[in-house]
Amino acid sequence: MKHSKLNYSLSALALFLFITTALGQTTSVINGKKESTLTVAEIINKNIEARGGYGALKNIQTLIYSGGTYHEGDFKSDGNSFMAYGRPNYRIVGNPEDSTTDILEGYDGSAWEWYASPGVVVRTVGAANATARRGTDFEEPYVDYKEKNNKVVLGEQISINNKVAYQLIVTLPDEYSESYFIDSESFLLIAQRQIAPFHAFGNAIKTETRFSDFKKINGVVFAFNTGQFDISSGKLLNEIQWKSIKINNDVPYKWFLPPTYQRTILQNYLEQLYNERSDSTAIKWTYDNFNRFHPEINTEQGIEFIGYQILKMGEGRNSLLLLKLNEKMFPNSAVAAFGVGRAFNTIGDKKNARFEFNRSLKLDTSYKRSHDGLKALDND
């Protein structure tokens, strides 16, 4: 996999709640007709049977998705997208055996991300961590939901892509809720709906994730296609088509662990800053000392990267502190100015964000990300 834009649509920051009409059995109106619905337990049992049965699902110990082709706008991946799962709750996105992989996202009991450039591992917290941990369930969270300490209630039946669907609203132990839509005829999971930011720093939008191209592998049905749509416009935002899904192949435990390697001085420094992300005094101390002791090392790109990671973890003020130090050291860098602008924008300071985007463009009139930043501010 040679791209960093992949949004697997298997997990999200927050999912859209629909009105719940009852806790047990409900009725709803679809196309003017009153439709009787099943109970939560009956819908879940029929979904499990439609997929291949409870025993078949529980017999799965590992899953390997490979040969994935990802589309988003004009971008199309090279067809080598990869993902694997191992019980009880391990997951890896990106092929750990492929030397050309530029990003790995894993869960080994805790969420982590690895970036080939600049070559650092970060243990995520906040929303990024939540997205990762919620994506490790082998089955859907409504299967054995009581054992998992989840709650499930029925919502209204709705039409999904011209198919009448039952709605299951699942609330996880961290109070995060998500809606699942089960086809009333096939009883396969055909959609989820959500409100989530589009990429790490995007605005939250209402989306519908649809599952299709169902195939049976070793007696269990899987969706080979996942597409995410903007509900308001109906526009396809992104899509992934898997070529292969394999069950119970040998998956080494090390796949789920962060890569191990000898850090350079710069890589170690960047990981130190990330680990200090909640302590502004420590960040400035470490920053000043490193640049005093290693004036020969160019830190611009590394600080831009780790500043963004700190911003993603919700430490907006400390990210801004670090990115402003970077801008001060590299005053002629359009990229450094953009980084400060994005930090301002993320913490809600639109005025200073606009100033920094404009400053970036004075340094480089062709810098696209600053043009896009100003456009987004104008559209707010």
Is residue 303 in a domain? yes
Residue 124 phi, psi (nearest 5): -85, 155
Distance (Å, rounded) from C-alpha 281 to C-alpha 286? 9
**CATH code: domain of residue 190:** 2.50.20.10
Q: Can you state the percent helix, strand and coil of the chain, rounding each to 5?
A: 30, 30, 40
What is the per-residue pLDDT for 30?
Answer: 53
Looking at the structure, tell me whether residues 363 and 227 fall in a common domain: no
Is residue 59 in a domain? yes
Is residue 117 in a domain? yes
What is the per-residue pLDDT for 127?
Answer: 87
Looking at the structure, tell me whether residues 335 and 306 fall in a common domain: yes
What is the per-residue pLDDT for 201?
Answer: 61
Looking at the structure, tell me whether residues 201 and 305 fall in a common domain: no
223, 201 Cβ separation under 8 angstroms: no
Tokens of 299: 């830190």
Is residue 348 in a domain? yes
What is the per-residue pLDDT for 31?
Answer: 52
CA distances to 123, 273, 297, 307, 355 from 282, in Å: 18, 8, 20, 14, 28
Distance (Å, rounded) from C-alpha 93 to C-alpha 113? 9
- Helix H or strand E encompassing 371: helix 368-379
Looking at the structure, tell me whether residues 305 and 349 fall in a common domain: yes
Q: Where are the beta strands (DSSP E) in 73-219?
A: 75-76, 81-86, 90-93, 103-107, 111-115, 120-123, 151-155, 158-160, 163-171, 177-183, 189-197, 204-217
Looking at the structure, tell me whether residues 223 and 141 fall in a common domain: yes
What is the per-residue pLDDT for 207?
Answer: 87
Distance (Å, rounded) from C-alpha 133 to C-alpha 129? 6
Looking at the structure, tell me whether residues 155 and 269 fall in a common domain: no
Is residue 248 in a domain? yes
Tell the burial category of 221 from Cβ atoms under 10 Å away from its Cβ (0-12, 13-18, 19+): middle
Q: Which of 235, 256, 277 is the last residue of a domain?
A: 256
| Tally of structural domains, the chain | 2
Looking at the structure, tell me whether residues 144 and 197 fall in a common domain: yes
What is the per-residue pLDDT for 46?
Answer: 98
Looking at the structure, tell me whether residues 242 and 310 fall in a common domain: no
Looking at the structure, tell me whether residues 224 and 275 fall in a common domain: no
Can you give the pLDDT of all 380 residues of the chain as single tens digits? Answer: 334 444 333 333 233 322 232 334 444 545 544 455 799 999 999 999 999 999 999 999 999 999 999 999 999 999 999 999 999 999 999 999 999 999 999 999 999 999 999 999 999 999 899 989 999 998 999 999 999 999 999 999 999 989 999 999 999 999 989 999 999 999 999 999 876 655 666 666 788 999 999 999 999 999 999 999 998 888 999 999 999 999 999 999 999 999 999 999 999 999 999 999 999 999 999 999 999 999 999 999 999 999 999 999 999 999 999 999 999 999 999 999 999 999 999 999 999 999 999 999 999 999 999 999 999 999 87
Tell the burial category of 35 from Cβ atoms under 10 Å away from its Cβ (0-12, 13-18, 19+): middle
- For the stretch 127-162, what's the b/e string if a residue is b when 16 or more beta carbons lie within 10 angstroms of its beta carbon? bbbbbbbbbbbbbbbbbbbeeeebbbbbbbbbebee
Is residue 228 in a domain? yes
Is residue 5 in a domain? no
User: What one-character DSSP code corresponds to residue 254?
Assistant: G
What is the per-residue pLDDT for 50?
Answer: 98
Query: Backbone dihedral region of 113: left (phi > 0), alpha (psi from -120 to 50 degrees) or beta?
Result: beta
**CATH code: domain of residue 283:** 1.25.40.10
- Helix H or strand E encompassing 223: strand 220-230
Domain range for 269 is: 265-379
Q: Please identify which residue in the block is written with the tokens 């600053």.
A: 370
As a whole number of Å, the end-to-end CA separation of the chain is: 34
Q: Which of 231, 256, 281 is the last residue of a domain?
A: 256
Looking at the structure, tell me whether residues 204 and 279 fall in a common domain: no
Cα dihedral 134, 140, 141, 146 in deg (nearest 10): -150
Q: Which of 256, 277, 307 is the last residue of a domain?
A: 256
What is the per-residue pLDDT for 232?
Answer: 87
- For the stretch 9-20, what's the b/e string if a residue is b when 16 or more beta carbons lie within 10 angstroms of its beta carbon? bbbbbbbbebee
Distance (Å, rounded) from C-alpha 180 to C-alpha 40? 12
Looking at the structure, tell me whether residues 299 and 241 fall in a common domain: no
Looking at the structure, tell me whether residues 112 and 36 fall in a common domain: yes
Tell the burial category of 379 from Cβ atoms under 10 Å away from its Cβ (0-12, 13-18, 19+): exposed
What is the per-residue pLDDT for 195?
Answer: 67
HEC string for 312-346: HCCCHHHHHHHHHHHHHHCCCCHHHHHHHHHHHHH
Is residue 250 in a domain? yes
- Helix H or strand E encompassing 237: strand 236-241
